[in-house]
Amino acid sequence: MRGRGGGRWSSCGRAWALLRGAGLLLLLLALLLPGGPARGQERAPRPPQHFELLYSRGVEAFSAGDFEAAVRYVEQALSSRRRLRDERLRCHLECGLPEPLGSARGTGPAWELRFLRALLERARCVRLCERAGQDGPEGRRGRAGTAGEPSRSPADVRRDFQRRMPYLQQAYSQINQMEKAAEAAYTFLMANPEHMEVPSHDGNTDTGGGAKLVDREAQPHLEYYREAVEYYEGYDFSLAIESFERALKEYFKADRECRLLCEWSENYGDNERVEKTDGFYEFIAGLYSQRLICEHECVRDLATWPGQLSPIENFLPLHYDYLQFSYYQVGNYVKALECARSYLLFHPNDEDVQDNVKYYESVLEDSMDPQTVKPREDATIFMKRHKLESELIKSAVVNLNIPYIEENYWTNDGGRQEENQVLSEMDSGMADAPEQSVGKQPVASLGQDFREGGPLLYSHVKFVYNSEQLNGTQRMLLDNVLSEEECRELQSMASRIMLAGSGYQGEVSPLTPNEKFEGATILRALKFGSEGRVPLHSARLFYDVSEKARRIVQSYFMLNSTLYFSFTHLVCRTPFSDQPRNRDDLSHPIHADNCFFDSKNNVCKKEFPLASRDYSAILYMNEDFEGGEFIFTGRDPETVTASIKPKCGRMVSFSSGRENLHGVKAVTKGQRCAVALWFTLDPLHRELERLKADEMIRQWNHEQSINPKDEL
């Protein structure tokens, strides 16, 4: 996308003027928000939604083995969540039609009063509409039997819905309702295709009894896009055009709905980031910026497959790119030119598409004036709005210190945006070797005959400690897994490919408010390498060292079956510059890798997707930071049984269960980077991105006429 370079300040100044000019609108929005705190009052946490309570009851029933109750509660939760969303959309659509806010524009002192009347009527309409839905028979039924607090946090429930956790599938199976179990399983697999081969959308998705399987949570714009790509790859360009056009229509409908839902948020009243010295306009503009950012992020939300962490790169522009070639294949050059020009709105410097435009113009110039063919209106309107949003958000970031980094999901060149931070300075007195507690602590019985001590496979890898020396079970510590040169190369690549909040649903500080988390998956690294945005050798190194670690873990713990990747993640932790020098919190709280640890009740609940993990490994890339020690604990999470100081090439590995509770101490200075690896013995739970990465490596090896390495 074209950069704004030297005009940055002038564009931000214009955007800031727009924000200030909308001051009355922003003030009234703040005053009319339901549940907004009065001056001097703290905002109380919002009560749990009905579907959150119902879902928590369902998970509790599932864990207790009451599968009929689990089905009942989870189905009610799904219905309640859909109903809540539909009601909000209906209310905001209906209340925006009778008297649009723009109709109140004018001059003179009466203009503000006319605007106020329109806004008050909008707010009254929305509130009455939403209350009517809550107080109706459906709303009352939804609340029945859900008194009390949910056992799962709203964030956990949200993540479960995004991942489509397979409780319904298993619960229906347990009560012998196999058709419904198959439908629930199919819905789960559409968001988690790595768990088995998923049937394609060819009309043959049926159960053994002939009933057609349906994805209960299908998003039309994604489904039409998937269908269109299949037609395109099958050279059926007429059907591809039909499906891509439907996909675009559904995309813009979904975009409108996504933006409407941003008008409702339980977070708009949170004032934790508001400074006491903020004035009238600063406070109101900051509040409105939250909604603006929410709407701007619809680009990411609509491009992300259910259950996936990263969006499809270049998603919306790809529709026009596919369409220009499809229309070309069927001989419709006017439509091909229209779509090519629409694509250039997103990528004005794409030389290939520029050449295509010239070709289409040359074909059409004998029969018409090609300059009369303009980009599509939907794409033009979308891009004008998107660019203005970007300018407004940049202005808010600069002038109000709004914590937001805009990711551009449409470009294929350029590096990530960096933040300049002054890190707190604090001397580190930690020794290089692991620290161990004086006495051994009891560990959980694994109930299996686990072994360890197998060969390390690589002569340069140095054995340091085994389970006994680390005061636990199924633990090992190695050095020299990476060389100094390899560490430097991985760190250099990391700074160019990482996303803030990667692996944590975009949350920049998911585990402690004092540190920023950034990360990148293996597939992202390889894509950057293939596009020339990072050295291909560096991306391949990330792939190779993770495979090297997998082989070592499988060999050392003497596993009788193949160890598969469950998740591969390069992650860095950096303290914020304003954090105290003597922090005593944890960078990563005490936890187990394959169950949710409840420290209050000292229990660890196995739930998807964590339950599929069997072994873990952390391969460290650097040591030029302070704090950040990896710690093991006993059954009592307060008792540290071993402490490990990271350094380049050091790797700690262990079984992923309750027997190996662990955490990370606060990083107080510098940046701590590592390759985090989780493995599974179940091939049905293999990492989807890893399978795609394997395919990319095979393709590169084939193109270069080389054989895969026997030893890395």
Q: Which residues are catalytic?
A: 672
Phi, psi of 70 (to 5 degrees): -60, -45
Helix residue ranges per DSSP H, 347-452: 351-364, 377-400
* Per-residue CA distances from 292 to 126, 254, 419, 500, 515 (Å): 19, 17, 22, 19, 25
Residue in the structure block whose two tokens are 């939300």: 301
User: Could you give the maximum distance between any two Cα atoms of the chain, in Å?
Assistant: 89
Distance between CA 553 and CA 547 in Å, rounded?
10
Q: Would you say 681 and 561 are in contact if contact means Cβ atoms under 8 Å apart?
A: yes
Give me the count of residues in the chain. 712
Question: Within a 10 A sphere around the Cβ of 598, how many other Cβ atoms?
Answer: 11
Copy the structure tokens of residue 86: 């539909």
Q: Which helix (H) or strand (E) holds 575?
A: strand 564-575
Compute the distance between CA of residue 122 and CA of residue 116 in angstroms, rounded to an integer. Answer: 10
Contact 538, 492 (CB under 8 A): yes
At residue 479, the 3 state secondary structure works out as strand
Torsion of CA 605, 608, 613, 619, to 10 degrees: -100
Residues 6+ apart with CB under 8 A from 422: 577
Residue 447 Ramachandran class (φ > 0 left, ψ -120 to 50 alpha, else beta): left
The DSSP-derived string for 395-408 is HHHHHH--------
Contact 295, 262 (CB under 8 A): yes
Is the CB of residue 296 less than 8 Å from the CB of residue 390?
yes
Return phi, psi of residue 111, to 5°.
Answer: -60, -45
Question: In terms of Cα–Cα distance, which of 29, 113, 42 is closest to 284?
Answer: 29
Rounded to whole angstroms, the Cα distance separating 614 from 167 reads 21
Tokens of 595: 């169950």
